[in-house]
């Protein structure tokens, strides 16, 4: 049966689609009765207002992103070989970048599988099917993944804001194989324990790998404070880089327990400690205690995940910088991170600088870090380049 046809409105920018933009917003598509009846994740051929075919797309009328481009060839067929080709291309890049199979394998639109995240942990993989089409075709994606990579265990992590925006239910389950313990992952000389079924997101944040490494280069003989530490991200890398000590702060007891396990596995437990609590409250308490550190890192969750939250999010980033700056010893370093899509680099940098100033400190910006190469950007989609890490040196 031929696929249904959906059409751009006359004022919609067809040229953007032709030039590689992967999304069609709800106000750009003709949503007649026939289109409204398409089930979430349905496949269709996209035409411009003049009825010229543009692409193979997937449609979800329940989402603000009503259409996602799967293939710029309108005659493409979404089947297992099609998915395998995308996975094989992604795998080729990761195998060139890394000598061990621990990385982000699929970074959504940038790797040609819109709304799909796949992180690999050796013989296991975690899939986040964050778009309706991926949820509907999950069996095909899993079969292709096993065929291309040979993984033995596949976990579906169906949690998070992206799925709710697609109208999808939250669900996490093991699809193939079994997993009964955290997976040890070696990065930057440190060992991390990733909980693939109960941890945040896929269990580990691979995106910060190059920023962990840069911070570790600043950490030799340093007293380190890692706030929003999760499973010990910056702290364990710093200890592997020769830090004198590292304190990890997080609100999650389970995350801190994994961090402690990673410290033990990496042989650095004697220099590692944890403190459970709200990050803002803990920063204030440390200041009252007169604590000082040579390297302070704050890597919070997305304070501005969407434009409506932007102003409040920037105020939160400014507050973090204001509270963290006084804890840095003279000549020490402050690392501030943002994974907010809505906060661009300039806005985040300005908020951070204001906070440092309000904290009574002056700073040099030494380095700006982004996500690792296993998190490629789609040049036409600014949202695919979400991570920013600012490295400051503070004077007296």
Q: Which residues are catalytic?
A: 339
Q: Strands, E, within the chain: which ranges?
A: 5-7, 23-25, 42-47, 53-59, 65-71, 102-107, 116-121, 124-129, 153-158, 171-176, 183-187, 190-194, 223-227, 245-250, 272-276, 293-298, 328-338, 363-369, 388-394
- Tokens 């094989």 sit at which residue? 88
Closest residue by Cα to residue 39 from 170, 135, 165, 140: 135
Rounded to an integer, what distance in angstroms lies between the CA atom of residue 215 and that of residue 226?
Answer: 11
225 closest CA partner among 303, 288, 301, 279 = 279
Q: Which residues fall within 8 angstroms of residue 379, CB to CB, at 6 or more apart?
A: 20
CA–CA distance, 114 with 131 (Å, rounded to integer): 7
Which neighbouring-strand residues pair with 223?
A: 245
Identify the CA nearest to 238 among candidates 227, 250, 253: 227
Q: Which tokens is 235 given?
A: 């702290």
Q: What string of DSSP letters covers 61-77?
A: TTSSEEEEEEESSTT--
User: 154: which strand partners?
Assistant: 125, 176
**End-to-end Cα separation, the chain, in angstroms:** 71
253 burial type by CB count under 10 A (0-12 exposed, 13-18 middle, 19+ buried): exposed
Contact 274, 301 (CB under 8 A): no
């Amino acid at each position: 049966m031929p696929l249904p046809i959906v059409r751009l409105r006359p004022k919609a920018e067809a040229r953007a689609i032709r030039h590689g933009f992967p999304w069609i917003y709800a106000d750009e598509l003709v949503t007649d009765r026939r289109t409204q009846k398409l089930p979430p994740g349905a496949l269709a051929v996209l035409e411009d207002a003049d009825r010229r075919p543009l692409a193979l797309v997937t449609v979800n009328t329940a989402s603000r992103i009503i259409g996602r481009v799967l293939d710029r060839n309108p005659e493409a067929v979404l089947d297992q070989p099609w998915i395998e080709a995308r996975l094989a291309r992604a795998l080729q890049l990761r195998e060139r970048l890394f000598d061990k199979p621990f990385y982000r394998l699929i970074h959504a639109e940038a790797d040609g599988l819109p709304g799909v995240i796949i992180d690999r942990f050796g013989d296991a993989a975690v899939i986040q099917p964050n778009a309706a089409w991926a949820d509907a075709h999950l069996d095909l994606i899993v079969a292709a993944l096993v065929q291309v990579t040979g993984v033995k265990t596949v976990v579906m992590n169906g949690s998070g804001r992206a799925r709710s925006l697609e109208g999808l239910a939250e669900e996490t389950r093991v699809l193939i194989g079994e997993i009964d313990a955290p997976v040890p992952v070696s990065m930057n000389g440190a060992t991390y324990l990733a909980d693939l079924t109960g941890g945040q997101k896929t269990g580990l944040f691979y995106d910060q790998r190059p920023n962990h490494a840069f911070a570790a280069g600043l950490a030799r003989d340093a007293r380190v404070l890692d706030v929003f530490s999760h499973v010990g991200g910056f702290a364990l890398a710093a200890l592997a880089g020769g830090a004198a000590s590292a304190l990890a702060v997080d609100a999650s007891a389970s995350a801190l327990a994994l961090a402690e396990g990673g410290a033990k596995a990496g042989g650095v437990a004697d220099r590692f400690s944890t403190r459970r609590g709200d990050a803002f409250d803990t920063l204030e308490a440390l200041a009252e205690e007169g604590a000082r550190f040579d390297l302070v890192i704050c890597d919070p969750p997305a304070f501005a995940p969407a434009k409506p939250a932007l102003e409040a999010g920037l105020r939160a980033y400014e507050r973090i910088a204001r509270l963290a700056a006084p804890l840095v010893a003279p000549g020490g370093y402050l690392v501030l991170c943002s994974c907010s899509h809505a906060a661009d680099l300039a806005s985040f940098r300005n908020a951070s600088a204001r906070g440092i100033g309000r904290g009574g400190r002056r700073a040099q910006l030494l380095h700006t870090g982004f996500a690792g190469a296993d998190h490629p950007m789609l040049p036409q989609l600014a949202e695919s380049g979400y991570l920013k890490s600012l490295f400051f040196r503070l004077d007296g």
